[in-house]
Amino acid sequence: MAMGVRGEEILRSALEGSRRDLSRLLSLIESGQEINVHTQDSWTLGVTGPPGSGKSSLIGNFVNYWSSRGDKVAVLAVDPSSPNSGGALLGDRMRMPSADSGDSVFVRSLATRNHPGGLSAYISTMIDCLAACGWDRIVIETVGSGQSDYRIAAFADRILLVDGPDRGDIVQAEKAGIIELADIIAVNKSDMEGSEKAAEAIRSALSMDENPPPVHLVCSHDGSGIDAMMDDIENCTPGARSRLRARERLISAWDFRLLNNPEINGVIDLLETGSITLEEAVKRLIQSEG
């Protein structure tokens, strides 16, 4: 869907600093509107990890840290979609006490809309728009399950993996290879029993790596360990996994085109009844794009 006159007006107003029109602009992008904004150099942090690890609360600490230093911080929090409306459940905004607390903070909840990987290709355009509108730090929080852990590599130039004192989820992350994406690892809830043991276990598991990511023991509630971790996040060299990021970006774009193909429902109907094979279904979808 090409950008119309109204879309151009909203884009212009957002670039001039209107937060209301920035929200409208992101809504247009989320609905499939093409926005003509130049690709921007941006500073992005992807935050992933299992549900319940305290990602949202930890991001609240990040917001306070950066905004107190004069940075403008934008957070894109990807929520599971409501099964009824398809919209975001807005749970992450409720857990971020800093959300929209001033002119230097902007938080937006996004629905996964059942997109494979939990993250859609339109997030790249959102990041470009946020960067063009002057947001210095852009944080993307994933749903924290399944492919979204991988797909975050398509959009963020730094990746923080968060877990709690119970190390079971990190073990699964190691087995799945997700831990290979992380530039920094945080064991949150350091005030709980077993947190130090969990951090040491992760360091031990990564000790054979040539360049293991730093592992930080932090607590989002009292702020302990946050400053040291923020130094590593700020000094992280982006682009260290450029090939992996390029691969995930390509897969994300492919998924997006597939799900938005106007022939997809008809092809699924034929596939369901056995009228065509899977290979024929793929060929039909490719041919429909001309």
**Shared domain check, 207 and 146:** yes
Nearest alpha carbon to residue 113 among 244, 259, 272: 259
251 within domain boundaries: no
CA distances from 174 to 117, 171, 178, 181, 206 (A): 18, 5, 6, 10, 9
250 within domain boundaries: no
Ramachandran category for residue 54: left, alpha or beta (phi over 0 → left; psi -120 to 50 → alpha) = left
**Shared domain check, 113 and 24:** no
The full length of the chain comes to 290
Give tens-digit pLDDT for 73-120: 999 988 654 333 344 334 444 445 454 456 899 999 887 655 544 456
CA distances from 110 to 100, 132, 166 (A): 15, 20, 28
Q: How many domains does the chain have?
A: 3
**Shared domain check, 113 and 1:** no
Alpha helix segments (H runs only) across 16-80: 19-30, 55-67
Tell me the C-alpha distance between 255 and 146, whole Å. Answer: 16
Give tens-digit pLDDT for 167-203: 555 555 554 556 777 889 999 988 888 888 888 888 8
**Shared domain check, 1 and 73:** no
**Shared domain check, 200 and 114:** yes
Least confident of 67-76, 235-244, 247-256: 235-244
Give the pTM: 0.79
- For the chain, percent of residues with pLDDT exceeding 70: 78
Mean pLDDT score of the chain:
80
pLDDT(288) > 60: yes
What is the predicted pLDDT for the residue at 168? 52
Tell me the C-alpha distance between 290 and 280, whole Å. Answer: 16
246 within domain boundaries: no
Tokens at 149, concatenated? 């852990």
Residue 110 is part of which domain span?
A: 38-241
